[in-house]
Amino acid sequence: MFPAALTAVLWASSALAGAAPGVDWSQVEAKKIMLLYPAQTPWERLMTRERHSGQRRWPAKTCVACHGSVDEHALGDSLANAEKFKEPTPIMGKPGAVDTMVKMAHDAQNLYVQVAFNPGMQPDASMDKDFETKLTIMIDDGNVANANTAGCWVACHQDAESMNMGVVGKTKYLEESLTGPGGEKKSDADIKKMMEDGKYFEYWQARLNPGAKPVPVDGTILDKRADNKSPAVKVDATRDAAGMWTVTFTRKLTGLKGHKDFVPGKTYNLGFAIHAGRTAKRFHYVSFERTLVLDSGMADFVVVKK
């Protein structure tokens, strides 16, 4: 296995005005994560050897170990204009990738995640009438099968709406919510038990329009994607004249119902996504999986307490 990069993230106590009180972001190291446009690349295709040679060596070799910070731009550029069976409805002029710079910090109460990105020249896809841009983070705490080697791609299936065998209304889901691959949904009692066991992704989303207050959303993905009634995550966002967004998520570390607890000693698997140019559903940019630990350990983000 490819050794995960070790990144020390510094925390400074000097308070700055703005996004996250108490975090001096100038003292926190940023990590670059590149997001690619995936077109229609469902889990089922990735797991088909004839379609994806990487399947042969996965999961001993993870997605990020082959692709991470390597070929996101090349893959994204080719997929934005791919053959019909991968991209039946291309968006003319869609860039193939978006780069982000990510910083994380925590204090006694909260985890802070700051993502800076410039979506660049984006054609208006007119799919989302309400928001120009959306930034999403998906989080697993080790309970979702294969999230540690494939991140959010495990939740992306061929029958989700807007995918190649799309069913209207079908969202992302985990295969373990079914009785077997391609099977029926498990009973409500089984799904409830999975939720209690933490077998779900949590996600945070910042819904953005230039010059407007950002709208926070959070929720879970298990048998379906479900937004929480009122989000526990807070969002601050600014956009500069050049189009660079700086978005900060703030969330309590522990004690929130229907949310993961962030505790030292556990490894969290993260996926990042950006909908740019008024897009929705699959028409987003996505990352390969990254890891987070609190305080100490081996991960892409070692988030140090003050």
How distant is the alpha carbon of residue 172 from its chain centre? 12
Q: Which stretch binds ligand HEC (CB under 6 A): 55-63, 115-123, 199-207, 258-266?
A: 55-63
Residue 155 falls in which region: left (phi positive, over 0), alpha (psi -120 to 50) or beta? alpha
Q: Which of 100, 105, 97 is nearest to 115 (CA)?
A: 100
The smaller minimum CB distance to ligand HEC, of residues 29 and 71, is found at 71
Residue 211 buriedness (CB in 10 A; 0-12 / 13-18 / 19+)? exposed
Asked if 266 touches ligand HEC (CB under 6 A), the answer is: no
Contacts of 221 (CB under 8 A, 6+ apart): 138, 155, 171, 172, 173, 174, 200, 201, 203
Q: Residue 223 CB, nearest distance to ligand HEC (Å)?
A: 21
Q: How far is CA 297 from CA 137, 182, 236, in A?
A: 21, 37, 29
Q: Residue 181 CB, nearest distance to ligand HEC (Å)?
A: 15
The tokens describing 153, both together, are 């791609």
Q: Residue 252 CB, nearest distance to ligand HEC (Å)?
A: 31
Q: Which stretch binds ligand HEC (CB under 6 A): 20-28, 49-57, 126-134, 190-198?
A: 49-57
Q: Residue 304 CB, nearest distance to ligand HEC (Å)?
A: 29
Site string for ligand HEC, 23-42 (x = CB under 6 A): ---------------x--x-
Residue 144 falls in which region: left (phi positive, over 0), alpha (psi -120 to 50) or beta? beta
Binding residue (CB under 6 A) for ligand HEC from 57, 192, 213, 306: 57
CA dist 63 and 210 (Å) reads: 34
Site string for ligand HEC, 68-97 (x = CB under 6 A): -------x---x------x-----------
Binding residue (CB under 6 A) for ligand HEC from 20, 63, 97, 270: 63
Q: Residue 194 CB, nearest distance to ligand HEC (Å)?
A: 22
Residues in binding contact with ligand HEC, number by CB under 6 A: 17
Contacts with ligand HEC, residue ranges (CB under 6 A): 38, 41, 46, 52-54, 57-58, 61, 63, 66-67, 75, 79, 86, 150, 153
